[in-house]
Structure formats: C-alpha cells, structure tokens
Chains A and B, each alone.
Chain A
Amino acid sequence: MIYDYLIVGAGIGGLSAGLNLATHKKKTLILEKNSIPGGLVSTFKRGRFEFDTALYNLYDYGDDVHVGKFRELLKEFGIELETKIVPFNTRIKVLNPEANFVIRGEIKDFIIELERLKEGSIESLKEFMRITKEVHEAMELLKNHEPIDSSIAPNFIKYFNTDSYTALKSLGMPEETIDRLGFLWPELGSPLNKLSFIDFSLFMYKIIFKKNTILLNNSLNLPLKLAARYQELGGRIYYNSLVTEVTKNGKFYLVKTEDNLEYKAKHIIFDVSKRYVYENIIKNHNPEINRLENARTLSPNGVVVYLGLNRSPEELGLKNYNYYAFHTLNSAENVRYMTNLEHETFSAIVPNIMNASASPKNTTILVLKKMFFTDVFKNLNNQNYEQIKEQIAQNLITSFEETFKIDISEYIEEIAVATPVTFASFTNNVDGSFYGYMAKSYDNPIYRFITYPEEETPGFTFVGASSLFGAHVDNAFYSGYYLTEELLKNKEGK
C-alpha cells in the first residue's frame, strides 16, 4: 500500500496533521517511536501521584464566551476536552532590584496592577491591547492569503520586523511596565529584545481575549483523544516505530523503521525538527539546510523537578498557582545570567491551586522548572550525569524554599527529575530544547511563516513546535492543521 501521507511523530503537530488528512479521507499513517502519543505532552505516575510532563496551560482555548481558535478546531474534529478557565494567580519575585508582587484575577486586574506599580502606563497598555487584536486579525488574513494594507492593519505593517521591547517602548510604555507586562517571556523561550512584536502580540492576544485555560484531567488525555479520533476517521498509527531512514524511490518515498519495516508514501510530514531529520533520517548533508541550521539557535532547554508533597497546599503555605523568580526583570539582561548552571531564574507551578483533583487529598504537586541558554551541559557525561542532575535539582528546591520562604524538602514523598537528556531521548527534540528554535529576529515565527514555501523541500512538510507558529500546544496544533490545509489546497485545488 502506498500512503498518501506518512507522518513521522505523534506529537500534537503530527496528530493534528493526521486528523485533518484523515478527515479528508487521505490514506494516512503516523509512525511514533514511543508507545503512546503526545511527545512532550505526557503524564507519568510515581506512587500515588500523576505528573503532567509539560502541559499545564492551554492558550487560545477559552470557553463558550471566549471561544478560542484551538477550541473551535478541536470541536470541528469532534473533540471536546474537560477544561476550566483560570484567573491569574502568579507571584513574581525579583532579586535585583528587589521586587515582589502578585498578579491576580482577570486581565483588567493585571492592567490596573501595572498602572498601580507605575503610574502613567495605562494609555500605552490600552493601545497595546488594541494592537494585539489588530495583529491577530491581520495574521488571520495573511494565513488566508488575503491582502493586508495600511488601512486595516497599520500597526501590523509598522511593527512587522520590530522586536517586542522596541515596539512597546515606541508606544510610550515605561520600561518597568514593559518588563512586568512581558514576565511570561520564559514561556516563549526568547527575551523581549529578541522576540518579534508580532509573536508577542499574538501570544498576548490569546491571554487577553481568550483567557487562560487548564485541562481538568491528565494532559496525556489530550493526545490520546486526538489519536483515538484520528483512528476513528480511518487514520492509522503505529507506535514503537522509530523512523531511521527516508529515501526517494521513483514517485514515492520509502520509509524505514528501526524494527526493519518499510512503508511507502507520496508525501512525508515530519513532526520532528529539521535538524533532527537531516542528521538522523535523511542523512544527506544538504549545504542549504546546514546553512539554515547554522543560522538558527535552539530555544533554551532545562531541568524540571516534579515533586509529590504529602501535605495540602494550605498546610504548606502554597497560595499561588504560578511562581516566577527572576534575577532581574529585564529579560535581555536576565538571559545573560541564564548561561550557567547556578543562575537564580526559575518558575514553579502548583496545579492543585486551580484543580483540587490534581493529586490525592491532602497532597500537593509542585513542579519546578529552570531553563538554560547556551550549552551549560557541555561537560555532562555518563560518569557525572547522576551527580549533576541531583545537584541541579537540589539547588532548584533550595532556591524555591529560600526565594518564596516556603518549606518543601521535608514533605517530598515522590520526586522525579527530567534533564535535557530525558527530554531529548523521549521526544527527539535536539538538545532537549523546550520550544524548538529560538524566535529571534529573522527566525521568529512570522519570518518562518512568510518564507517556508521557498525553504521547504518538495515532498516534505515540517510541523510541530519547531515549525511555523512556534511552541505551545495550540501553535503546534495549528501548524499541523494549517500546513495540511495548504497541501490539500495546492495538490488538489481544494
């Protein structure tokens, strides 16, 4: 059998590509190396705790009133999730200059708090909110190949290749307010002076207008649902299938897996980064691809410590859903501190604050995350691996306790530590990077979007967080959906 499409990897991007193709009755096969779908979106169990690996917040999902695009698309495919809209409840602590504040409530409360912290911010913040909407609408036009002119989207054009910091400054926003507004930059993997203003606006649009949403059950439930629906629609998926080689064979591609099985397909969709694919699957060192990869920077990787605590959040004094500790609030400056193992920037999440059933009664899950820019792991080897892992985890726990004055050490019932090696071996993300490639100037998702048709090799399509729209589940999903829509349109004039 010759498949119309063969998808390498059942991450969120691969699954959404599969769903769309199966909906259009294409003969589609997904090959996934693990025994379960989802890639980074997963859940594992330790003792009586079930830990979600990476996905805690769904963006662009919303509810019946604030219907996000992600929710709409899932509904179209017949998938509904058990979710809940959650307010802000984030404690932020900054070492230098010292600061400690909480963002709580709705977006308007956040804006009011920003104005309270720095008078004279409100006008620029209002203007920014308006611009995010314009940028979102313009982006939708661009995706639909519709013309954009300065009468509909003047700011989209004006800020098309401007970084977030410069753009916000030009709106007259005070520096402190820019830093506070952009405190979520670690979730985007790039500091504000590198991050495209278009990307930042698209992200903030979702936060402002579509609300933050959480899944009420295991995050693994999401990919399991996508995979189940895909198969209902006639799509085929094989697990335990690591793709080792793709070669062209006349009119179709020959795909080989580690267990020596072969598949044929007319078109290959990779839900793995380009770098991984060209190094490990295609194996011919195309100089143009090498140039591209040399020009790009991988997003930060990091260490995640999953803790199951044997006390309730109240007993522990954990009052906030998110915790962020920064060395300094200016993201560009902060990144410079994040190039060694010992830095003081980290984040934490307590799912129980928003979802009482996140762990058994009178227990709490606390997940700590520390990211690193540049290769701080260059001396990591088989001999020192366990020691370095333990050291980082210990430092992270101590930093959390000292920064937020909350004791957790003596309540740890279960602990699991994931390093870049853990993530790299589970997902094949190069260097275990969290967000694919860094969204820096010429490689930010908006630049990727306008150049991908020229850069793509015919017969191959790349989806997932490393591809067009960048990281996060919603973007990974859109990449699979959007690119397969384009393929269907171009190939068959759909």
Chain B
Amino acid sequence: MEEEILKAQKERASIIKSYSSKPLKESNITLLAKTRNLQYVTIKEIKEETPDTKSFILAPDASKGTYELAPFKAGQYISIKMFVNDIYVTRAYSLSSNPLNPKFYRITIKRVKNGLVSNIMLDEMEENSGLTISLPAGNFGYEPLRDEKNIIAIAGGSGITPFMSLAYEIENSRPQTKLTVFYSVKTLEDIIFKEEIAHFNKKSKRVKFIITLTREEQEGYLNGHINKKMLEPYIAEFNTFLMCGPKALYQTMNEILSEFNIPKKSVHYENYFAEYKPNTNNEYELKVILKNDFVITKCSSTEPLLIALEKAGIKAPSLCRVGTCGFCKSVLLEGKIKMVGSSMPTSLAENDYIHPCVAYPESDIVLRLDI
C-alpha cells in the first residue's frame, strides 16, 4: 500500500507544481457577495412632499468604499443607522424609487411626533450629507412567480412608499400585469408623490392610483375609508392584494376581502408598524451579556427590549424592528418576555432565541447579545 500512497502523493505534488503561482482573480459572485454589507451613501437631493414629509435621493459614496448600490426588489426597505446623542439607532424605510435603476435610492420620511430619527432626517439633513444604510431587505412585494397578474395595492398614509417603487417596475418591465393602488390619506395636503401619481394616472395604461381622503371632501377624490364598493370594479377573476399601512387598515380590508372570497395565498402585508400596548407599566432590571463585557440597565414593560438596549448605549443590531428580519436575534438567558408578531423558525425559539425588537419584558431579564 505504501507504494500506491507514495505514487499518489508524488502525482498530486507534481500536478500542483505545474500550475501557475499567480494569485487567482476573485469572481464577480465573490465580489457581489462582498458588497452585501453596509452601504455608505450621500443625500443628492431632498424634496418636500408634504409639510411633514420629505423624500431623499441617495447615491453611493465612493469615497467611503460604496461604488454602486446593491440591487433591490420593489417593496424592500433599507435601514438607516446613526448615532443620536451617543445612542445607536436604526430605522427602516421602504424604498420608493425605480428598482430598475439602482443607481440611486429614494426613501420618503414622515415626521413622527418625538421621533428620534425622523426629526433629524427632516430638520438636520442637507444635500451632500452622508448616511450609513443597510442592504435592501424584506420579503414584502410583488412576486411574479407567486402572484397574479391583477395587483391591487392598499396603502395607508406613508404606506404608499413601496408601491411607488412597484409602479415603476410594473410600468417599465412587466407588460402583462396591471396595478391599481388604493391610497388612503387624511387630507389633500397629506398626499405624498402627488405629481408622480398624476403622471402615472395620465400616461399609464396599466398603473392606476386611486386616492381616497378620510378627513375631508375634495373634488376629484374619493371620500372615506377604502370600502367594498371602491374595490369592486377593479377585482378580476384572479387577484393579488398587497397592503402597507396601519393594522386597523388590515383589519377592515380583511373583512372586505373575505366578502370577495379572496384566498389567503393572494393577500400579502408589509409588517409595517409593530403596534402593541401592554396594560402594565413596570420597570425591570436588564442585564446584557456582551462578548467581552456586560451591562446592567433598566427596561420597561411598555417598550421592547431593543429600545432599552439602545438607551443603554449598546450598539444592538437591528433592521426591520417589527420581528420579521431576524437581524436582532439574541438569546434570553433568564426572565420572561412577551413577543409580539415575531417570526422565527421553531428550532431558534426552542433554543431561547428572541427578537428584542418585539420582545416586551415581563420580569427582570438576562440577555446574551454577541456584540
């Protein structure tokens, strides 16, 4: 046997020796995979959409190593990462630009009362300001391999953003599909993308926006919440419903859709707001075991643990902040929590993994977070 082994060893050595010693070039798969990390962008343009909403056009910042933006699908979001008073925070915003032109991204931000990030974005950001953002993420949106050709989108307030992106995609690259967007806003003044919507409604044969005002009557607009009668003329034999907005909207819509016998498979929601109001208000101790350190702080039964982590100055990872993406995954070592709307494989749940972004403490907590 030794003879065969020796022969084989020599054979391998001599073959390897016959090859060049030049380093291999990295393939484009490797290069594409490598860009799948943080992205650095500069704000190229800021547009006031409504008195409390602005759009931001983001372009890659080559000086920081982002040469081109990662591709995205209509419906996906990016997460802005920034320090506010030494607190590391992230906020997810749906992309509203044309996915076929990934040379720039557009996000649209509405002012949130006492909002940490929205107020900075609206008041302090200027053209050429830099931002750090995540890769596009999220699974919400039109999926041609799954969905029907007649798409009905339901948008409540700033939930219009992903559908703007979808409108461009349908108009420019999906000649077989039809998109009708029902857009529910309070007043005329609250309409975002007014000109673009008018443009689509004028030029497009397949993309249509129908706006309904819930708090005032105006000529040329529907009035009141989206109802069965409004939808009826647009429902075909097979439909796909996409919804983005507050939970109350989803509830009303579900009742309407069941009247139309729309199968569950054809209805998709963006998990847009994590809405949960616990009926207790207790303060607990939160101990966080980090890689080389630990932090003891407070947490409240009224706020998800992620907020407590951020307030304690911990640079906790997060993306969607509504329990879906799994980016904030941590291990609950001790304590009791209530998770609201979290989506994770059984095996992770069984191994005490939690999503701090939607985990409300119900006792003192010990958390393991590897950062």
Contacts and interface: CB of A to CB of B under 8 A. Distances in A.
B344 A301 contact: no
Interface in B79-107: 99, 102
Interface string A391-407: 00110010000000000
Interface in B354-371: 370-371
Contacts of A46: 139
Interface centre among B68, B99, B291, B353 (most CB of A within 10 A): B291
Interface in A369-384: 375, 377-378, 380-383
Contacts of B7: 161
Given A424-B29, A430-B30, A442-B15, A294 B351 contact: no
B329 A45 contact: no
A390 B32 contact: no
Interface string A140-174: 00000001111001001100110000000000000
B229 interface: no
Sort chain B's interface into a size bin.
35 or more
A8 to B, nearest CB: 15
Contacts of B15: 295, 442
Contacts of B345: 43-45, 50, 218, 220
Interface in B211-234: none
Given A149-B1, A238-B291, A310-B265, A161 B11 contact: yes
A261 interface: yes
Nearest to A377: B29
A312 interface: no
A185 interface: no
Contacts of A432: 29, 33
Contacts of A446: 8
B329 A36 contact: yes
A371 B47 CA distance: 46
A23 interface: no
Nearest to B353: A36
A218 B347 contact: yes
B346 A50 contact: yes
Interface of B: 1, 4-5, 7-9, 11-13, 15-24, 26-30, 32-36, 68-73, 99, 102, 139, 143-146, 173, 263-265, 291-292, 317, 326-327, 329, 343-348, 350-351, 353, 370-371
Give me the 10 closest cross-chain CB pairs, A-B, nearest first: A424-B33, A287-B21, A218-B347, A425-B33, A239-B370, A294-B19, A425-B36, A221-B347, A148-B1, A295-B19
Interface of A: 35-36, 43-46, 50, 147-150, 153, 156-157, 160-161, 217-218, 220-221, 224, 228, 238-241, 259, 261, 275, 279, 285, 287-288, 290-295, 301, 310, 375, 377-378, 380-383, 385-387, 390, 393-394, 397, 409, 411-416, 420-421, 424-425, 430-432, 442-443, 446-447, 450-451, 454
7 contacts: A150-B1, A292-B16, A295-B16, A397-B145, A412-B146, A421-B33, A442-B8
